[in-house]
Amino acid sequence: MIKNKLKIFKDSTELLDLDNGLDETSLTLASGEDLLIGYYKPINHLFFEFKTASASNAGLTISKSNGTDYTEIEIEDETNGFTKSGHIFLDTLDTNGAITENSKELFWVKIENSAGAGTIELRLLDIVFCNENDLKYQYDSVSRFYPEATSTPITYMVAATKQIISDINLTGKNKYNGLRYDSFNNWDIFDIEDVRDACAFYTMHLIYLSLMDSEDDGYENKAAMYLDKYNARFQIFSGSKLSVDSDDDGVEDEAENEEAFEDNLFYR
């Protein structure tokens, strides 16, 4: 198994084998059926993008593996029980632990639904750093610029997330698990609030960039403005708090919470 791959099961049936990419999977979640999401280290938040969401609140209860079983946790659920796309933020455990589910020893998140989500179509299950509301804070009618094929900004938000991670890695800072150095990925950011506005700015940049048809186009000015906003925000990361999983264990320790994020670049 590739280390960075997310494993997703409905009870004992494997649904997806994603490697930080887009996919579309139709599934039916009846009342009492579990969705199991496993990763090589503890998961702190998830983003669900639905092509077809649940018609009513599924009544979610979420637990994390503790080494022997599961512990129910508090959540902040932007999806309102799978009725719309958004983040689900997961509370941390004092004791995290991998357990074996479906022959996979991983850190698991168990999502139980008491009401039944019915048939839903899942377009993406990953980590992105902003949501549609963040874009509407920039321009409340932004939805009129979404691609007709999807009527959603998700491809732009995924691209913006990847850009932020790429720029973080270009600073020269890496994660180190005691055995080897590795580049950061989107699962290594503990608090997306640190990068949420940067994601929104770069997403808006990409949206306006896609609308340009001449250099004198007003969209070109908007695209440039949001790129400037993104670059200014990214420079603030240097010397400020950015909670990244520097030791790749999925647990935010004191140093990772308080250390300034310092890079090796010079700005002018």
Instruction: Tell whether the torsion through CA atoms of 131, 132, 137 and 139 is positive or negative.
Output: positive
Residue 265 pLDDT > 60, yes or no? no
User: In Å, how far are 122, 144, 168, 220 from 86, measured between CA atoms?
Assistant: 12, 19, 24, 29
Neighbour-count burial for 42-64, b at 16+ CB within 10 Å, e otherwise: bbbbbbbbbbebbeebbebebbb
Least confident of 25-29, 46-50, 153-157: 25-29
May I ask the CATH class of domain 6-126?
mainly beta
Confidence of residue 119 (pLDDT cuts 50, 70, 90): confident
d(CA 174, CA 76): 30
> Rounded mean pLDDT of the chain?
85
pLDDT digits (tens, 9 = 90+) for 55-85: 889 889 999 999 999 999 999 999 999 999 9
Per-domain residue ranges for the chain?
A: 6-126, 132-261
Calpha distance 104→89 (Å, rounded): 24
Q: Higher model confidence: residue 239 or residue 52?
A: 52
Q: Can you give the pLDDT at residue 263?
A: 53
Instruction: Give the H/E segment covering residue 126.
Output: strand 118-126
114: confidence class by pLDDT, cuts 50, 70, 90:
confident
- State both tokens at 246: 């520097």
83 by DSSP, 3-state: which?
A: coil
Q: What is the pLDDT of residue 30?
A: 78
